[in-house]
Amino acid sequence: MVLLIDQIIKIYVKTHFFLGEEVDFLGLSWFKIHFIENKGMAFGMSFGENVGKILLTTLRIVLASGIMWYLIKMVKKGTERPIMIYSFALIFAGAAGNIIDSLFYGLVFSQSTFFHVATFMPADGGYAPMLLGKVVDMFYFPLIDTDLPTWLPFVGGRHFSFFDAIFNFADAAITCGVVLLFFALYLKNKDEEKKKQSLAAQTDND
């Protein structure tokens, strides 16, 4: 479901927005849809041009495959907490969503520009070969967007905005999955501590 929602949002934005176009979601100034495309790693970073992009996508596929293998193993084993399974499922779904962009979007969409909206399956082909597609990002939450008071030393009068990152639904799923994973590991450690204390108490009684 996470993967499906991610792709529906991306395809809609890709085929309805100009590159760089921004709108307020439901009229909220702190929740915007701002269409950009990520050429490489998180926050728009990149390395090595096409070779680096291919290596990065390949690495993502390998890591996602490892997560899927471990997730299937946990489900079959049935001994892990459900929250542990949910966390890995979210991480895998998010990773797969961004991998799909890199693998296929260059093949099935025309180039998004500041003046033209992309089309699906253009007659003259897509904008990039397989593995060189760009990841679609759109969620922008400028929770604080203001000018700092002039009386502040060093930074007074400067424009300040909080949380400038633009991300997608897949990124959010990965983040939620990682948070759940840390929480699951915390609960697991607490259970192990309780078992050790219980065993120590039994030993003392004996």
Catalytic residues: 137, 171
Packing angle between helix 82-100 and helix 169-205, nearest 10 degrees? 160
Three-state DSSP class for residue 25: strand
Give how far the C-alpha of residue 42 lies from the chain's centroid of Cα atoms, to the nearest Å.
8
* CB neighbourhood size of 184 (10 A): 19
- CA 1/CA 6 separation, integer angstroms: 8
Q: Are 32 and 25 in contact (CB under 8 A)?
A: yes
- CA 87/CA 71 separation, integer angstroms: 9
